[in-house]
Amino acid sequence: MDYVILAVILLIVVVLAGAVALLRPGRRTAAPPAEQADSTVSDGATATGAGQDEADDAGVGILDRPGVPPTPEVETPPPSAGRMVRLRARLARSQSGFGKTLLNLLSRDALDDDAWDQIEDTLITADVGVASARAVVEDLRTKVKVAGTRDPEEVRGLLKAELLTQLGTDLDRTLHTAPHGERPAVVMVVGVNGTGKTTTCGKLARVLIGDGGSVVLGAADTFRAAAADQLETWGSRVGATIVRGPEGADPASVAYEAVSSGIAGKVSTVIVDTAGRLHTKTGLMDELGKVKRVIEKQSEVDEILLVLDATTGQNGLRQAQVFAEVVNVTGIVLTKLDGTAKGGIVVQVQRELGVPVKLVGLGEGPDDLAPFDPETFIDAILAD
């Protein structure tokens, strides 16, 4: 069998590429004879590998406002009110097409099977999943029938009510970041790779500091290249202290150090950034459980935020399930809602796990984080 395959492939090459081509000398065999002396070093103009020298420190150190060029100035965050308006506008811009499509379909003269199918499809393209989309359509169908209405305002009202039900109005979305007397609140930020954990840590610190608090950031991502540097940059940008260890250090001990330095420094909140990990990697998930348990030797963990990227499809539910099993997730942060993705997977996540979305990320800037309020959210989606 294999021999036949090889023979046939050989034939194909002969017939296609041809004997002439086969005889042509390989053009890349003439590699530069001498080994490039610079092959292991950065041969470009030297860029500042920020904090790279700190990485050599043997132990975990506290770096108060490290000098990361360019010297960042900590700006005062804008008032919360203005932020909400700006973010709502951004949300409306990226998400309103979805709302409009639904509204248009619902206001059709003939609300026939075809229209309902299209409504289902619209929901599916928002990543809510086939089963959820069907359930919503069934529900909405009954409601529209009962109400017997075609009036655009009333239809909008019905749709809004339905979407609100899906997003859940009875979930407690309070963020537990307030200190308990002398002791800081501890927040852990977890999730799969690249969802926006570090960015969320930075943005959240910014909000808390803007509200008069003080924050220690714990760089418990000791794995990814320059992850601690990234958090450090965020720290200096928003005015938070950072605790970091050398690259490859035990993340649990870095987290522990961060919390003890937070306690010692009497800060209001400690936010622990963790390395991105796929929920399928049991070793890494165990490691995460250990980070939490080690922190708990000194302090309870008040909030464990799972960061979900809005572009994530149905796999988001699996992620949430496994993370919730391992570390008791208390809230979801839905990031990258400033793009075209709808993040519909959170509907299933909230329903299956009862874990509420508490925050949404709407950009890469320090102020692009907003509390999640279903009502405001849906208003933005259904805005004209």
Ligand X SMILES: Nc1nc2c(ncn2[C@@H]2O[C@H](COP(=O)(O)OP(=O)(O)OP(=O)(O)O)[C@@H](O)[C@H]2O)c(=O)[nH]1
213 phi, psi to nearest 5 deg? -90, 180
Find the binder of Mg ion among 198, 269, 319, 348 (CB under 5 A): 198
* Minimum gap (Å) between residue 16 Cβ and other proteins: 5
Residue 362 binds which entry of other proteins, ligand GDP, ligand X, none, CB below 5-8 Å type-dependent: ligand X
Residue 129 binds which entry of other proteins, ligand X, ligand GDP, none, CB below 5-8 Å type-dependent: other proteins
Comparing CB distances to ligand GDP, the nearer of 158 and 228 is 228
Nearby residues of 152 by Cβ (< 8 Å), 6 or more positions away: 103, 107
Q: Which stretch binds ligand X (CB under 6 A): 4-12, 187-195, 244-252, 285-293?
A: 187-195
* Minimum gap (Å) between residue 226 Cβ and ligand X: 10
Residue 233 binds which entry of ligand GDP, other proteins, ligand X, none, CB below 5-8 Å type-dependent: other proteins
Closest residue to ligand X: CB criterion: 276
Q: Is 192 in the site for other proteins (CB under 8 A)?
A: yes
Cα–Cα distance measured from residue 111 to residue 107, given in angstroms and rounded to the nearest whole number: 8
User: CA dist 245 to 131, 207, 253, Å?
Assistant: 45, 25, 9
Q: Considering only residues 200-229, where is the footprint of other proteins by CB under 8 A?
A: 223-227, 229
357 phi, psi to nearest 5 deg? -75, 125
- Tell me which amino acid residue 292 is: K
Question: Strand 357-361 to strand 241-244: parallel, antiparallel, or no bridges (unpaired)?
Answer: unpaired
Find the binder of ligand GDP among 65, 134, 160, 224 (CB under 6 A): 224
* Minimum gap (Å) between residue 209 Cβ and Mg ion: 20
Q: Is there a contact between 249 and 222 (Cβ–Cβ < 8 Å)?
A: yes
Question: Strand 215-220 to strand 241-244: parallel, antiparallel, or no bridges (unpaired)?
Answer: parallel
- Specify the residue for token string 């998400």: 95
Q: Is 89 in the site for other proteins (CB under 8 A)?
A: no
Cα–Cα distance measured from residue 371 to residue 361, given in angstroms and rounded to the nearest whole number: 9
Comparing CB distances to ligand X, the nearer of 155 and 329 is 329
Cα–Cα distance measured from residue 210 to residue 177, given in angstroms and rounded to the nearest whole number: 13
Residue 221 binds which entry of ligand X, other proteins, ligand GDP, none, CB below 5-8 Å type-dependent: ligand X
List the alpha helices (DSSP H) in 107-246: 113-124, 130-147, 152-167, 197-210, 227-238
Q: Is 235 in the site for ligand X (CB under 6 A)?
A: no
Cα–Cα distance measured from residue 250 to residue 3, given in angstroms and rounded to the nearest whole number: 50
Q: Considering only residues 230-289, where is the footprint of ligand GDP by CB under 6 A?
A: 276, 278
Residues that bind ligand GDP in the complex, under the rule CB under 6 A: 193-194, 224, 276, 278
Residues that bind ligand X in the complex, under the rule CB under 6 A: 191, 193-199, 221, 224, 227, 275-276, 307, 335-336, 338-339, 361-364, 368
